[in-house]
Amino acid sequence: MSLLTRLRRFSHTGKGGGVTEIGDVAVVHAGDGGTGEARALAAALPADPAHQVVVADLPCESPVEVWEAVAAAVPRDHRPVRLIPGRQPLEIGATVPPWFAQRLGRPVLAAYGRVHHGAGGALFVHSGPRTGWGWFQPGQAPEWAAKRFPSPAWESPALAEVVAAGAGAVAEPVPAGMWIHPPGPGERFARERARLASALPCQQETPVFVLGSDEVPGLELGDVAAFWRALPPEVRGKAWFAVIGGVVVPGGGAAGPALAAAIGAEVSCYNGIPLGSPDSPAVLAPRRDGGRGWYPFARGLAYRPGDTRPRLRGHRAPIGGLPEIAPGVYRYAPDVAIEIVQAGLWVRPLENTGAGTAWSVPLDPACAVVLYETTVQEKAERMHGVAQELVRRLETPARTVPTAVPPMPPAAEPEPEEKEEAVADDAADTGLPLLSRLLETTVMAVPVRPSGPPLSGLSARLEGLTDERGH
């Protein structure tokens, strides 16, 4: 919805104060008409029916006289107030929220610390220890409430502070969850930190643990495991991992199996980086040169210690109109199946069910890979022809790379109660470029074996605080 559509009315109230209502958000200012920055922020905010949302379109250190005019302009409402700063640097003076609560006679949920914009209009408050959204009530000490808005189901004090991860890493909060990386001066991670804060969505049910750094390599999986073991069980049960680079894997293999072995339990990993809508994020394989890469068909993968292949935990169809005969497996022709694997697609005879080495080919961030089975000579030409036809149907550039890979045994079957999660089309409603504009496809021949921290510091600073004007 556009800003002009959501702009309902503009009026002046109080002594010098003004209010602009944008949807259900009241943008209050000192009577100067306010700023486009604050109005744009208000228009992008997620719905918050439990609170009267007030965007303060004022400089951070405005005097009490200005805040008095703004308080007088706030529309009457019975709900608690969510107070959001509307001007850079998106901070509110520490004495304002308790004064505002006293002045309005209502609880105020306000940002204590700097506010950062996140994907989908979410707001993340972080500028040091014990920062976040805090409750301020008349006559009471402030209390920490959350780090993120909207507050996800997994919000926890364990995911709100910068902490040590093992002996050689640091875990810091980001809107999507936590980012675990090697230690170092903050400025070395500034670019990646800003990118993670603005691009990775905060999902309501899924905290994302981002691993590694392209800027500073050397993250040890033992440190990730130590952080994992310190988390509450309810957080561990919902978490997914996303690797962005610089993770040390023994023997140089894939990060997912090594992570499961280090943790000693099944782990769920994105086959790339989740981006876009918090409700249905796309999964993008970022290129090592910083480009956007492509959208893998396998959205997520689950790894168990000792397993030889992962289990799909979400995928998207390679092309429309194909019947799905098993999770991630589509009938392309009476004798041919297309199976989604980590690297892309595997073209095989319909009767084969063991993925073999098709799952051992790693994801290439630069392009999709179409593998075809060559185990049976008389069927190899047929599989190759279908692979080439599939490339043409994908309408993407193609290059053939014949590859010979020794066969590997299929993995044990998952337990009956485990089911793949249903996932919407990754490219839908994300605002990201279409797959057909980004995807480069490789055809590869592979022989396959058949088969609340409290706001204690602020509380001390505010102890005994009274309104200078007696309100």
Do 284 and 171 sit in the same domain of this protein?
Answer: yes
User: Is residue 319 assigned to a domain?
Assistant: no
* Alpha-carbon separation of residue 330 from 183, 323, 343, 425 (angstroms): 45, 6, 16, 16
| Residue with token string 């589509």 | 330
Do 17 and 129 sit in the same domain of this protein?
Answer: yes
What is residue 79's DSSP assignment? S
Give the residue numbers spanning the domain of 288: 157-312
Do 9 and 140 sit in the same domain of this protein?
Answer: yes
Looking at the 3D structure of the chain, how many domains does it have?
3
Do 248 and 343 sit in the same domain of this protein?
Answer: no
Do 8 and 119 sit in the same domain of this protein?
Answer: yes
User: Is residue 278 assigned to a domain?
Assistant: yes
Contact 468, 423 (CB under 8 A): no
Do 136 and 255 sit in the same domain of this protein?
Answer: no
389 sits in which H/E element: helix 377-394
User: Is residue 380 assigned to a domain?
Assistant: yes
User: Is residue 471 assigned to a domain?
Assistant: no
Do 199 and 142 sit in the same domain of this protein?
Answer: no
Do 215 and 281 sit in the same domain of this protein?
Answer: yes
User: Is residue 469 assigned to a domain?
Assistant: no
Dist CA 178 CA 207 (whole Å): 8
User: Is residue 467 assigned to a domain?
Assistant: no
Q: In this structure, is the dihedral angle defined by the CA atoms of residues 228, 232, 233 and 239, taken in order, positive or negative?
A: negative
Dist CA 170 CA 230 (whole Å): 13
Q: What is the model's pTM?
A: 0.83
| Beta carbons within 8 Å of 377's beta carbon, 6+ residues apart | none
pLDDT by residue, tens only, the chain of 471 residues: 333 333 344 444 445 578 999 999 999 988 677 899 999 999 999 999 999 999 999 988 888 888 898 899 999 999 999 999 999 999 998 899 999 999 999 999 999 999 999 998 999 999 989 999 999 999 899 999 999 999 999 999 999 999 999 999 999 999 999 999 999 887 888 989 999 999 999 999 999 999 999 888 899 999 999 999 999 999 999 999 999 989 999 888 889 999 999 999 999 999 999 999 999 899 998 777 666 788 899 999 999 999 878 999 999 998 889 999 999 999 999 999 999 999 999 999 998 766 567 888 888 888 888 999 888 888 889 999 999 898 888 854 344 444 443 444 444 444 444 444 434 444 443 333 333 333 345 565 555 443 444 444 434 433 333 333 333
Do 164 and 141 sit in the same domain of this protein?
Answer: no
The tokens describing 274, both together, are: 């989740």
The helix/strand/coil state of 65 is helix
Annotate 282-319 with DSSP letters as a single string. EEEB--TTS---B--SB-EEEE-TT-SS-EE--B--SS
Amino acid present at 368: A
Do 17 and 109 sit in the same domain of this protein?
Answer: yes
- What strands lie across the sheet with 115-117, from one edge to the other? 115-117, 123-125, 148-149
The separation between the first and the last C-alpha atoms of the chain, rounded to the nearest angstrom, is: 39
User: Is residue 245 assigned to a domain?
Assistant: yes
Backbone φ and ψ for 203, nearest 5 degrees, come out as -85, 140
Contact 349, 376 (CB under 8 A): yes
Do 146 and 201 sit in the same domain of this protein?
Answer: no
What is residue 454's DSSP assignment? -
Do 402 and 434 sit in the same domain of this protein?
Answer: yes
Backbone φ and ψ for 430, nearest 5 degrees, come out as -115, -15
Number of Cβ within 10 Å of residue 86's Cβ equals 25
